[in-house]
Amino acid sequence: MNENQSIRLADKRQMGFAEYGASDGAPFFGLHGTPGSRFMFQLADARAKELGLRLIAPERPGCGLSTPQPNRSLTNWARDIAELADHLSIERFALAGVSGGGPYTAACAAHLGERVTHAAFISPIGPLGQEDVAASLSRFERRIFIDIARSNWRSNLMFRAMRWNIVNAPTIALQAVIARGTPSDRAILRQPRVAANLVESFYEGVRTGVDGCVQDLRLFSEPWEIDFSQISARCRIWQGDADTVVPPYAAKVLAGLIPGCEFTRLSGAGHYWVFDHFTDVLEWIAVPELERAVS
């Protein structure tokens, strides 16, 4: 693995990324959640190597090694991924977006067309600004994903409080995450390797500030500038029906917007199930097209 890489983009911003798995393997980009960083995919390193996958984990603007980008959009991120792929001499690739990485995965699949072979959405944020989705939100979900998301000062305040805990009291921050989880989430998050990875990923994501998180939340709550009809990649969504972090219904709506998207409902699973099941996603990405068509 090589976890501390960066490139200088055409507009002079720095973009940080890590590489896991097989350096000469089939490439895919793993897009982290919110908060999150390039470290989120550490636990997938060994299995990716076994499956012959080259896992590249870039950081969005304002997170980790990546410099901020004021007023960015989902489309901007698709361009950044294209530029990183060009820098690495990668023509075609797969995508895997976890939680807050979901909208960015959809944007890349739509804007980059046939360069994206297939896309995995793992407990993704769905189109929260869509009328039917917004109407389905609980009072708590609406407060976070609509009211706070669309108020810059409230969002800053929330993420700064979160950052203070992550930086100064990581054990307390982790316990707060565990407390909000389902019983299945709690069992996963109490595994030492998972707990350590989550804390490290969160810390790196907010180490330099909260601008990246604030912009993520704003973009999640707004209508997405995505033409879903342009997505030609094979897509699959995995969503736990007991998720207490993102609204499960929004993920189902997202599946309906993406042509031919397969939706896998995980009965009783919470938000963090993937930390125990990276293999499921990696094997789906690694299966050749012909073999998948037959299965």
Q: Is the pLDDT of residue 182 over 80?
A: yes
Q: Is the pLDDT of residue 290 over 50?
A: no
- pLDDT tens per residue across span 41-94: 999 999 999 999 999 999 999 999 999 999 999 999 999 999 999 999 999 999
What range defines the domain where residue 39 resides?
A: 2-294
The sheet carrying 14-21 orders its strands as 2-8, 14-21, 53-58, 26-31, 93-98, 116-122, 234-240, 262-266
Q: Is the pLDDT of residue 294 over 70?
A: no
At a CB cut-off of 8 Å and minimum separation 6, what does 173 contact?
A: 162, 165, 166, 199, 202
Helix or strand or coil: residue 160? helix
> For residue 65, what is the domain's CATH number?
3.40.50.1820
Per-residue pLDDT, averaged over 153-167, amounts to 96
- Residue 120 phi/psi, 5-degree rounding, is -105, 130
- Residue 192 phi/psi, 5-degree rounding, is -50, -40
Q: What is the pLDDT of residue 291?
A: 52
Counted domains in the chain: 1
At a CB cut-off of 8 Å and minimum separation 6, what does 7 contact?
A: 14, 15, 17, 83, 84, 87
Per-residue pLDDT, averaged over 267-276, amounts to 96
Q: Is the pLDDT of residue 287 over 90?
A: no
d(CA 124, CA 149): 17
